[in-house]
A and B are shown apart, each in its own frame.
Chain A
Amino acid sequence: MSEVIVVTSGKGGVGKTTTSANIGTGLAALGAKVVLIDTDIGLRNLDVVMGLENRIVYNLVDVIEGTCRIKQALIKDKRYPGLYLMPSAQARDKTAVTPGQMVKMISFLKEQFDYIILDCPAGIEQGFENAIAAAEHAIVVTTPEVSAIRDADRIIGLLEKQEFDKIDLIVNRIRPDMVKKGDMMSVQDVLDILGVPLLGAVPDDESVVIATNQGEPVTGTASQAGRAYQNICMRLTGQEVPFLNLYGNRSVFAKLTGVFRKNPGGVL
């Protein structure tokens, strides 16, 4: 059974593309056959984050318009045997594709892949409609900021109307030091407000910037963010993985009192 997952957020710049790249890579590392589809027509980026920008010949719009076969547009990632990328078109705009065409193309890809991951553009216009049309599972990415959470709430409202099977949340760019000082909302604060299940919390980590500079995904590395993404992938395959403790070691007293709190262990 293949699963079609859309990674969306509403607001731009919260880490949709980085999340898509790392989830795709992480799932492929676990042995799944994965295709990542960049649906941001006109502003393609997933190829750069994956480090595959020099190997693009055909793109999503070529497939939709019948200029090439689906297989010709798929770029094979050399790092993992089951990982493929379908890049978006840079010289076109989002009206080049309709939701119906996306559904048709993805139903074909479903026969060959375990996971189809769609990187959604920012906004709630046609690009968003195209990206969500064929998906049954949505991952909403947000950061602990008022504007990003507000947009995430709006997106969740729109997704709920579309009868998604599953809507999960990833809270990205958490800075545990700032949360401790009371200068940033915690993962639990964000969950209280949005009311959708948490798939994972990713700390704001230098290693993400360093990895992206080189076109390498961060999943599977020993960094905090790498481990967070790896745990997210394991949860997607149905494994129960405890959430990372981002706040470092706690005193014995804090651990004892923590037992009685709503969030035992205080990791969120």
Chain B
Amino acid sequence: MKHFFRFRKTRAVAKDRLKILLISDRVTCSPKTVDLIRNDIASVLSEYMKIDKEQMEVEIKQVSGREMDEKKPVLYINIPIVDLRPSEKFTHRIP
């Protein structure tokens, strides 16, 4: 693979590097957006179980992909469950 790259023009190398770089640069969203995601997910899940919204972790991470220097954004969410039954407001939703 290294062998192959050495014969490529650096113009193309630069363009490809930028494309990959900008994909990961562009996904980092603002703390405000992360807060909106947190609130929306918490409100949907609350209909099915009691969760601890304060301890919820929401972040966008970069994870290595299959290729050597490939990076992919993933949405990582960790939600502690307080009770597997929903609060009374929503009990009618569960069959």
Contacts and interface: CB of A to CB of B under 8 A. Distances in A.
Given A182-B9, A182-B10, A183-B9, A189 B25 contact: no
A146 B14 contact: yes
B11 A189 contact: yes
A252 interface: no
Contact of A193 (B10, B12, B22): B22
B1 interface: no
A189 B12 CA distance: 9
Interface string A135-167: 000000000111001100110010000000000
Nearest to B8: A182
Contacts of A186: 11
A30 interface: no
Nearest to B19: A193
Contact of B14 (A153, A154, A185, A192): A185
Interface in A116-148: 144-146
A144 B18 CA distance: 11
Contact of B22 (A153, A179, A185): A153
Interface in B26-47: 26
Interface residues of A, number: 18
B21 A150 contact: yes
A184 interface: yes
Nearest to A193: B18
B16 to A, nearest CB: 10
A185 B9 CA distance: 10
Contacts of A182: 9-12
A153 B26 contact: yes
A179 B22 CA distance: 22
Contacts of B14: 144-146, 184-185
| B14, B15, B18: residue with the most chain A Cβ atoms closer than 10 Å | B18
Contacts of A157: 26
Nearest to B17: A146
B22 A150 contact: yes
Interface string A165-180: 0000000000000010
Contacts of A183: 9-11
Contact of A189 (B15, B21, B22, B26): B15
Contacts of B17: 146
A150 B22 CA distance: 7
Given A185-B11, A192-B15, 6 more contacts: A146-B14, A146-B21, A150-B21, A183-B9, A184-B11, A185-B15
Top 10 A-B pairs ranked by shortest CB distance?
A182-B9, A182-B11, A183-B10, A189-B15, A146-B14, A185-B14, A153-B22, A185-B11, A146-B18, A193-B18
Interface of A: 144-146, 149-150, 153-154, 157, 179, 181-186, 189, 192-193
